[in-house]
Amino acid sequence: MGRHSLPDPGEPGERPDEPQTERFAFGARQGEEPGSGGEDVAEPASTRSRDWEAGEWTGSHRAITPGRRGVSVGVIVALVSVVVIVGAVILWRFFGDALSSRSDVAAARCVDGEVTVAVVADPAIAKPVTELADRYNQSAEPVGDRCVKVGVTSADSPQVVKGLSGDWPKDLGERPALWIPGSSASEARLEAAKGPQTVTDSRSLVTSPVVLAVPPRLKDAMGEQNWGTLPRLQSDPAALDGLGLQGWGGLRLALPLAQDSDAAYLAAEAIAAASAPSGAPASAGLSAVTTLMAGAPKLGDTKASTALDALLGANDPATAPVHAVVTTEQQVFQRTSSMSEAKSKVAAWLPPGPTATADFPTVLLSGDWLAQEQVTAASEFARFLRKPEQLAELAKAGFRAPGANPPANDVVDFAAVGAPLTIGDNALRATIADTLAAPLKSPTATIVLDQSMPEVEGGKSRLANVVDALKARLQVLPPDSGLGLWTFDGVQGRSEVSLGALSDQLDGRPRSEALTAALDGQTASNGGAVSFTTLQLVYTDASVKFRDGQKNSVLVITTGPHTDQSLDGPGLQQYIKGAFDPARPVAVNVIDFGDDSDRATWEAVTQATGGSYQNLNSSASPDLAAAIAKLLA
Beta strands (DSSP E) in 338-399 are 347-349, 357-358, 361-365
SS3 91: helix
Q: How many CB atoms lie within 10 A of CB 478?
A: 15
Distance CA 345, CA 310 (A): 12
Distance CA 28, CA 25 (A): 6
Q: How many CB atoms lie within 10 A of CB 477?
A: 21
Query: Whole-number mean pLDDT of the chain?
Result: 85
Domain 209-358 has CATH 3.40.190: yes
- CATH for 440-631 is 3.40.50.410
The answer to whether the beta carbons of residues 555 and 632 sit under 8 Å apart is yes
Strand pairing class (199-204; 361-365):
antiparallel
Check residue 104 and give its pLDDT.
43
Residue ranges of alpha helices (H) inside 177-255 are 184-194, 216-221, 230-235
pTM recorded for the entire structure: 0.65
Distance CA 281, CA 456 (A): 17
Query: How confident is the model over 494-519, as a mean pLDDT?
Result: 95
What's the pLDDT band for 548 if we cut at 50, 70, 90? Answer: very high
Q: What is the pLDDT of residues 556-588, one digit of tens each?
A: 999 989 998 899 999 999 999 999 999 999 999
Q: 8: Cβ–Cβ under 8 A, 6 or more apart, which residues?
A: 1, 14
Return the domain boundaries, the chain.
Answer: 1-13+42-66, 114-207+361-396, 209-358, 440-631
Whether 440-631 and 114-207+361-396 are alike in CATH topology: the answer is: no
Check residue 425 and give its pLDDT.
80
Q: CA angle at residue 384 from 378 to 387, to 5 degrees?
A: 150
**Where is pLDDT greater, at 146 or 36?**
146
Check residue 370 and give its pLDDT.
96
State yes or no: pLDDT of 50 exceeds 60: no
- CATH for 114-207+361-396 is 3.40.190.10
